[in-house]
Structure 1
Amino acid sequence: MENIKVGVVGYGTIGKRVADAVSLQKDMELVGVTGHSYNYKIEIAKKKGIKIFAMDGIEDFAKNGIKVGGDVNKLLEQVDVVVDCTPKKIGRENKEKYYLPQKIKAIFQGGEKPDVGDASFVAQCNYDQALNKDYIRVVSCNTTGLCRTLYPINKKFGIESVHATMVRRAADPWDIYHGPINAVVPVLELPSHHGPDVQTVLPDVDIFTTAMSVPTTLMHMHSLIVDMKKEASTEEILDLFKKTTRIRVVRNAEHIRSTAEVMEFANDLGRSRGDMFEICVWEEGIGVEGKKLFYLQAIHQESDVILENIDAIRAAMGFKDGKKSIEMTNKSLGVNSF
């Protein structure tokens, strides 16, 4: 079977990571990426030997020494599937303008509304539902984190209801345009959009979420209260998390007490860009009273969904073994390897 030919539309925080991850897959070929204008990210893509295609003309690229392979249509002529990593709402516009007319399969990000795709996707939860779909939406970083930990709990112990609070980072580390920088900003929408989004993947989970933004750039934090259908011990929950792929149990005993130390840990693991693909659950933050479970988890907003994008490519192209896809993706990126 020939390698899957992949194009990445949008080369920002997610797009550059998806492109690198595609390049590591033995069954995929990165055809190229798109850019709107010249910047340092495009310069690095050039140095990596990645073909660059223009979304809005070639003049800005040419005057900075970037030879483009053509416009976005030229990229689409050469691919089996596109991963659209553009900002929210742009993905839907691209679908209508490019992907539908040219009958190109596409993976979208969680900033788009669920109906942009034929399925919302978290690989270990609903891989089979996305098989051979033309359009798949990888849910947001927060929704991915919630689904990864709630799915095994629901499968083993059952879930009556979930109440979760999202403590969201203000902006990504590179972002000089957003905040807050000296405030805690509550999301005055109840429930926050995260709960309904979880239900696009886990429709039988009754979940209510609230959220706030805080002045940090490193990670999101979640505080969850889960009412289970069956009683469980703290040890049983801890064992479940340890055995579940793409979850990493971290410990205060290791002096990992904060999101800052989680990110430093990722750097020390030698991860590209210091990425933490796994959802980090604190061992000492897990507590159980009867059927009520409490736990804390941290989500690296720049990288957790990269794994899902790779698996979504395989699902869209008809690779039937979801477990095998997860194993292949994990191995290529060193997930749960330490």
Structure 2
Amino acid sequence: MIRVGINGYGTIGRRVADAVKLQDDMKVVGVVKTIPDYKARQAVEKGYRLFCVDAAGVDKFRRAGIAVDGVVDDLLNEVDVIVDCTPGDVGKTYREKYASFGRKAVFQGGEEADVADLSFVAQCNYEKAVGRKSVRVVSCNTTALCRVLNAVDQRFGVEKARVVIARRASDPEEASKGLIDAVVLDPVEIPSHHAEDVKTVLPHLDIVTMALKIPTTHMHLHSLLITLKDKASADDVRSILSETTRVKVVWKADGFKSTANVFEYGRESGRPRGDIYEAVVWGDSVRAEGREVYFFMGVHQEAIVVPENVDAIRALVGETPAEKSIKKTNATLKIS
């Protein structure tokens, strides 16, 4: 049984904790929270032990009537693997602490690549992560791009990929960021950071990305333009993507005409929080002309990296082969 701690119980941390709890070879030892809010109370209701950053945090939680079991150091004394789900750039401040306790660590894509031994996407480089001391699960957009580009590259070869990413402006609960009435170039310069992030997993790819923010909260939308090394038909590409794990091909005839339809599908399917763990490709959008391929892809930013975190834990411990881990994770999260 792999003993797992989660440092950070926000958008990703809550989902990772729930996913780990579903695994028959893992145990959630506890989660770290900084604010004694309703999320902390819900964590206790779910049976998770709470830990704080420091003694001052413990006092704050206890004054709020929320029981805690100690601080981060106490949690680290009890775990085999710590999953860092703290806000971007915070994880790096914990790197040395995790190492000093001799704990293997999983970081998130909000950190720079050098925070860990390896950038990780399960179906691309699981084997390279086996037995490492730390990995970084790449960002939501990078995870989706790696899944589909790796699949296409393995079958047809990718000469180059050019991607435009329309990013959601904020997560649904981030009301403090306010409403926007604009399309924001993010960044103004080209390329965006996503291309270099993809290369931390698939270093041989020739890829350029550009990104912008739009006033929506539920998903990102990618427009992919890929030049293949070998010719392929649209049906060939659809077939490969349909066969690729954690990629879902949807169709206009089934009512999928927007990201809202995808999110509604997740909710009506009984997924926790309506989560979509797959990279979603609109089958009708796939077009092939000679060696050129184009299609649209949706990315649920809150959920797509959750299965990667579960597989990353197993890879670090080094007792489960890639195919077995991915299959087990998919089954528990009901990814077909």
Q: What TM-score range do you get, normalising by the shorter chain?
A: over 0.9
Q: RMSD between aligned alpha carbons?
A: 0.8
* Residue aligning to 1:125: 124
Q: Deviations over 1:19-44 (max 9, x none)?
A: 00000000001000001120111010
Kept after mapping to 2: 8 A contact 1:259/1:298 = yes
SS in 1 for 2:217: coil
The answer as to 2:94 corresponding to 1:104 is no
* Residue aligning to 2:14: 16
* Residue aligning to 1:189: 189
- Counterpart residue identity of residue 316, structure 2: A
- Counterpart residue identity of residue 15, structure 1: G
Q: Deviations over 1:160-186 (max 9, x none)?
A: 000001100000000012256210001
Name the CA distance, whole Å, in 2 between partners of 1:160 and 1:209. Answer: 15
List aligned pairs for 1:28-43, cutoff 5 A.
28-43=26-41
Following superposition, the deviation at residue 189 of structure 1 comes to 2.3
Name the CA distance, whole Å, in 1 between partners of 2:166 and 2:179. Answer: 13
Q: Deviations over 1:249-291 (max 9, x none)?
A: 1111011100011000000100001100011100111000000
List aligned pairs for 1:24-63, cutoff 5 A.
24-56=22-54, 57-63=57-63
* Residue aligning to 2:73: 73
* Residue aligning to 1:203: 203
List aligned pairs for 1:183-332, cutoff 5 A.
183-186=182-185, 187-332=187-332
Following superposition, the deviation at residue 319 of structure 1 comes to 2.6
Following superposition, the deviation at residue 215 of structure 1 comes to 0.4
The aligned length equals: 333
SS in 2 for 1:181: coil
The answer as to 2:161 corresponding to 1:152 is no
Name the CA distance, whole Å, in 1 between partners of 2:123 and 2:190. Answer: 28
* Residue aligning to 1:175: 174
179 and 140 in structure 1: CA distance in 2 versus 1, 3 angstrom threshold: farther
* Residue aligning to 1:143: 142
- Counterpart residue identity of residue 119, structure 2: S
Q: Deviations over 1:67-101 (max 9, x none)?
A: 111111110000000000001111000112x2122
Name the CA distance, whole Å, in 2 between partners of 1:227 and 1:178. Answer: 38
179 and 197 in structure 1: CA distance in 2 versus 1, 3 angstrom threshold: farther
Q: Which runs of 5+ in 2 are unaligned?
A: none
Name the CA distance, whole Å, in 2 between partners of 1:157 and 1:219. Answer: 28
Name the CA distance, whole Å, in 2 between partners of 1:87 and 1:94. Answer: 12
Q: Which runs of 5+ in 1 are unaligned?
A: none
Name the CA distance, whole Å, in 1 between partners of 2:33 and 2:16. Answer: 14
Name the CA distance, whole Å, in 1 between partners of 2:100 and 2:93. Answer: 12
SS in 2 for 1:226: strand
Q: What is the TM-score when the length of structure 2 is the normalising length?
A: 0.98
Name the CA distance, whole Å, in 2 between partners of 1:319 and 1:230. Answer: 37
Q: What is the TM-score when the length of structure 1 is the normalising length?
A: 0.97
* Residue aligning to 1:89: 89
Name the CA distance, whole Å, in 2 between partners of 1:17 and 1:326. Answer: 17
Name the CA distance, whole Å, in 2 between partners of 1:55 and 1:189. Answer: 37
Name the CA distance, whole Å, in 1 between partners of 2:179 and 2:230. Answer: 41
Name the CA distance, whole Å, in 1 between partners of 2:334 and 2:48. Answer: 22
Name the CA distance, whole Å, in 1 between partners of 2:319 and 2:225. Answer: 36
- Counterpart residue identity of residue 49, structure 1: G
* Residue aligning to 1:163: 162
